[in-house]
Amino acid sequence: MGEEGMTSDVQEKAAKTRPKLTALPLIALIFYEVSGGPFGVEDSVKAGGGPLLSLLGFLIFPLFWSIPEALITAELATSFPENGGYVIWIASAFGPFWGFQEGFWKWFSGVMDNALYPVLFLDYLKHSFPVFNELTARIPALLGITILLTYLNYRGLHIVGFSAVSLAVFSLCPFVVMAILSIPRIRPQRWLVVNFKKVDWRGYFNSMFWNLNYWDKASTLAGEVENPSKTFPKALLGAVVLVISSYLIPLLAGTGALSTPSSEWSDGYFAEVGMLIGGFWLKWWIQAASAMSNLGLFEAEMSGDAFQLLGMSEMGMLPSIFASRSKYGTPTISILCSATGVIFLSWMSFQEILEFLNFLYALGMLLEFAAFIRLRIKKPDLHRPYKVPLQTFGVTMLCLPPAVLLILVMCLASIRTFMVSGAVIMLGFFLYPTLVHAKDRNWARFDAEQPVAPSSADPEGSSVASQLYPGADEASVSLLSDLSSVKTEEPGFEIMSEGDLKTE
């Protein structure tokens, strides 16, 4: 047996022995990808000119945004149960160029999102420790937090998953206590307060959108999930209920029990709400919960970003170094790359980061909705272990309301956001042909250690592929395997010798 064969066997054995994510840790990871608790929703009260629009937003938005996105993620993540998630969906529907652009936009958006959590952490702490308002203390703190959390992510995804469960319980407990203590003080008429003259629609929609997006992020580590066809739909359902409850219950308690002006509601204000309702002990508990929540948010986001790069490397879109794993099974270079992006972006303000990442995320989601509909039309026989129970017209109507919301969020963006996002998009357009040229010139190694795809000349390969992707059609298996010199006979798809997918 050659050296490459031995390496492949070692990697295959390591993959089998790596702990897989089960339903409960996956629920916690999705919860932290999307939410992490009510930390950061305070701005929705301020931007909405009072509690009414904030409460209505978290009641209504999930119906035509969160639930459709979760359903689409459940169908596509179980159809393509590999690391890379939405990159694979887009590549399958529109080809590798757009798959790469989707991956670049969503990775950049994810890194910007991750840069928020050390900022939010310090925003909560500065209420008790004003020193963190000073740059001399803030910058070293941001750097230290990022390095510490990056190391924890490096130690293993299963550790991140089970840590997320514990962190979720700890982070939500003080809000359950706050809600119980607030009951005697609640006046329902306070929930109906709104001053339309003070409504900041751009800030309001950005806050709503950010607090209810990223349902698709967990798909980037689908290859690390145990029995994804059953685990993903259950985990997404559980996470939807948990996220909506974690927003509405604290907001109902805080706005119903206190007559605080909406202008006071900004990042970190729940700590003050806790003090006014329960005392200093509850304030400190909420601040501790915020710290733990931001830790979970950071870990979940970095896991998604890093495994997305790993999946893109396994597909041949990025150099193979991005697929290299540590002894803990984590993609070392991909984690370091994401951490570097976080450090460079964490100097920006909360609102600046929020608007930039929302714009890029919205662009990527529009492409995902288009791919979802295109795959329904183009590949009706694709093996779908979970399928949204609607026909083509029905799923098109399902995608329409969230698509309108995405366009609205993009239209409300500032000129600066358009310029920064435009620069990122142009960079993605430039990077793809550059990487293709690097592959053709052998400037970097582009390969993937994947199981053999089915072919008429290799019945054993067909058997292996059918075990890994039961019921999957030939084009899907070939796309995921990303092998050289393998061609499918399905019209419209061809895997070329360099592993490039072409659409006719």
Phi-psi region of 306 (alpha: psi -120 to 50; beta: other; left: phi over 0): alpha
List the single range of 6-10, 74-78, 137-141, 402-406 with lowest mean pLDDT: 6-10
- Three-class SS state of 501: strand
The pLDDT value recorded for residue 149 is: 75
The pLDDT value recorded for residue 490 is: 37
SS (H, E, C) 464-483: HHHHHCCCCCHHHHHHHHCC
The pLDDT value recorded for residue 156 is: 62
* pTM of the complete model: 0.74
**Rounded distance between C-alpha atoms, residue 420 and residue 219, angstroms:** 27
Instruction: Kindly state the DSSP code that residue 494 receives in the 8-state scheme.
Output: E
Which of 441, 439, 443, 444 lies closest to 484 in space, CA to CA?
439
* 423 vs 213, residue with greater confidence: 423
The residue to which tokens 């009641």 are assigned: 59
H/E element holding 502? Answer: strand 501-503
Is pLDDT above 70 for 284? yes
- Helix (DSSP H) and strand (DSSP E) numbers for the chain: 19, 2
The residue to which tokens 């993609």 are assigned: 331
Is pLDDT above 80 for 478? no
Instruction: Kindly state the DSSP code that residue 215 receives in the 8-state scheme.
Output: T
The pLDDT value recorded for residue 163 is: 72
Average pLDDT over residues 17-26: 74
Distances (CA, A) of 388 to 61, 87, 236, 368, 395: 20, 20, 13, 15, 8
- Map out the domains of the chain with their CATH numbers: 19-440 (1.20.1740.10), 459-503 (no CATH)
What pLDDT, in 10s, does the model give residues 225-280? 888 888 888 888 999 999 999 999 999 999 999 988 988 898 778 989 999 999 99
**Rounded distance between C-alpha atoms, residue 170 and residue 179, angstroms:** 15
**Rounded distance between C-alpha atoms, residue 458 and residue 14, angstroms:** 25
What pLDDT, in 10s, does the model give residues 152-205? 777 666 566 667 788 888 889 999 999 999 999 999 999 999 999 889 988 888
pLDDT band of 311, cuts 50, 70, 90: confident
Range among 247-261, 432-446, 468-482 rated most confident: 247-261
* Tokens representing residue 3 in the block: 């050296």
**Alpha-carbon 23 to chain mean position:** 17
Is pLDDT above 50 for 63? yes
Is pLDDT above 60 for 21? yes
HSE at residue 443, side-chain half, CA atoms within 13 A, is 9
Mean of the per-residue pLDDT values of the chain: 79
